Amino acid sequence: MDYILEVKNLRKKFKNFTLDSISFNLEPGYIMGFIGPNGAGKSTTIKLIMNLLKKDGGEIRIFGKDHEKYEKEVKNRIGFVYDENYYYEDLTVNTMKNIVASFYSNWDDNKFNGYMKEFDLNPKAKIKTLSKGMKMKFSLAVALSHNADLIIMDEPTSGLDPVFRREILDILYSVIQDEGKSIFFSTHITTDLEKIADYITFINKGKIVFSKPKDDVLQNYGIVKGGLDILDGNIRKEFIGIRETKVGFEALTDNMDKTRKMFGNKVLIERATLEDIMVYSVRR
Amino acid sequence: MRIIISNSSDEPIYEQITKQIKAQILKGELKQGDLLPSIRALARDLQISVITTKRAYEELEREGFIETVQGKGSFVAGQNRELIKEKKLNIIEEKLSKVVEESKDLGISFDEILELLKILYEEV
């Protein structure tokens, strides 16, 4: 299988934080959501992929090529959306676009103008006068206007209202109508991912907790609710995270079938959401 | 084609899709040669992941309900009459076996089930 993005044993050490031998792969034609709490290492990983930070060890291959050796070639085919605005605030949208466009060999002005219309952006407006949502739309328009095969986005939906988040999802669906293209995006708004993502990669404290098809994750993880009388030390160990109160307990399991066999009708088992999985795994 | 997905159902989404497409083929609402939406277009329309629609189509293909032609798309496969009859019977068999199982659990006899079935069949 040829991967569009391959991260192998990626390491980066900071004073107070270590990204610890991270590995995951993304095939062409699919969307991968990258989740984890604040400070888990999401942005660091993305910066390392984009070579905005130098890695200490490991391997990153994009389109099958080493991301440092072939940096220029690789970046030409990536549409990158960053969570902070990295544009010159005093320039107009159009001038900024002209600067960015000059970096890409496949820049498509028609496509860009199409997005400007679709997003209702004024080309003459200064970047600093744009709202957060407008800036995100501008970044997105740039990322989608040079025929990129891989779209990488760091928290593209954070701070945006639900209406616009839904619009972004529609745009992402239109990108992957082409089965050669993939999208990798980090977020902590997991409801967006529950719809669109094919794969979920979950990072916590600099380590990958899992990287799996979303359907498998949602199929196997469950929230178990029951009375305190059935809990003991061994049973507590069966769960990934547990919240006990005076009136009962709630816990996360990564094997609903096993839990169902163990407890039968003594507990209530419900499907876990990605948010449940994140919260319980981090709290354990 | 008509597909309605419930996000709160316990049934996996790919199964909801396969069931609904199968039912439409068996009822003759979808006919041999009808073109289905592409995997990616269906994912977009239902706002679900590509992997999910792909799995649904693969399942339908494996069971002979649809055929995929590389570069052209997925079509409703030719269904032979006997096979359709058999598939319809399979669906009912599956449901009845659950009824039998539960009846045994509850201590209801074969004659009692039969009696009930008679009444229900005439009523509905």
**pLDDT confidence of A202, banded at 50, 70, 90?**
very high
Residue B73 backbone phi and psi in degrees, to 5:
120, -170
d(CA B53, CA A71): 35
Task: Calculate mean pLDDT across residues B26-51.
Answer: 93
Closest chain A residue to the Cα of B10, Cα to Cα: A271
Q: Residue B120, SS3?
A: helix
User: Among B29, B27, B38, which residue's Cα sits nearest to residue B2?
Assistant: B29
- The DSSP string of B64-79 is TSEEEETTTEEEEPP-
CB of B55 closer than 8 Å to CB of A215: yes
- Cβ contacts (< 8 Å) between B10 and chain A: which residues? 271
Confidence at residue A150, expressed as pLDDT on a 0 to 100 scale: 97
Confidence at residue B57, expressed as pLDDT on a 0 to 100 scale: 97
pTM of the model: 0.85
DSSP classification of residue B38: P
- Cβ contacts (< 8 Å) between A269 and chain B: which residues? none
**Beta pairing, strands B66-69 & A268-271:** unpaired
d(CA A42, CA A197): 16
Confidence at residue A242, expressed as pLDDT on a 0 to 100 scale: 92
Residue A91 backbone phi and psi in degrees, to 5:
-85, 160
DSSP classification of residue B84: H
Answer whether residue A85 shows pLDDT above 80.
no
Confidence at residue A191, expressed as pLDDT on a 0 to 100 scale: 82
Q: Residue A137, SS3?
A: helix
CB of B51 closer than 8 Å to CB of A215: yes
Closest chain B residue to the Cα of A194, Cα to Cα: B48
**pLDDT confidence of A133, banded at 50, 70, 90?**
confident
User: Among A184, A215, A204, which residue's Cα sits nearest to residue A32?
Assistant: A184
d(CA A166, CA A175): 14
d(CA B41, CA A205): 37
Contacts of A159 (CB under 8 A, 6+ apart): A132
Task: Calculate mean pLDDT across residues B69-75.
Answer: 90
Confidence at residue A189, expressed as pLDDT on a 0 to 100 scale: 79
- Cβ contacts (< 8 Å) between B41 and chain A: which residues? 177
Task: Calculate mean pLDDT across residues A102-114.
Answer: 94
d(CA B31, CA B29): 6
**pLDDT confidence of A84, banded at 50, 70, 90?**
low
Crossing angle for the helix pair A132-143 and A109-118, to the nearest 10 degrees: 150
Residue count of chain B, please give it.
124
Share of chain A above pLDDT 70, in %: 98
d(CA A64, CA A8): 12
Q: Which of B11, B50, B105 to mutate to test the interface with A (most CBs of A within 10 A)?
A: B50
Answer whether residue A59 shows pLDDT above 80.
yes
Confidence at residue A225, expressed as pLDDT on a 0 to 100 scale: 95
Q: Residue A1, SS3?
A: coil
What tokens does A73 get? 């070639």
pLDDT digits (tens, 9 = 90+) for A11-50: 999 999 999 999 999 999 999 999 999 889 999 999 999 9
Question: Residue written as tokens 């389109």?
Answer: A63
d(CA A54, CA A48): 6
Closest residue to B49, CB basis, from A179, A198, A271: A198
| Distance from the A57 Cα atom to the nearest Cα atom in chain B, whole angstroms | 32
Answer whether residue A70 shows pLDDT above 90.
yes
DSSP classification of residue A229: G
pLDDT digits (tens, 9 = 90+) for A217-276: 999 999 999 999 888 888 888 899 899 999 999 999 999 999 999 888 889 999 999 999
Confidence at residue A131, expressed as pLDDT on a 0 to 100 scale: 86
Task: Calculate mean pLDDT across residues A115-138.
Answer: 89
Which of A78-82, A145-149, A165-169, A199-203 is predicted with the least confidence, judged by mean pLDDT?
Answer: A165-169
Residue A187, beta-bridge partner list? A35
What tokens does A269 get? 């088992």
What tokens does A157 get? 């939906």
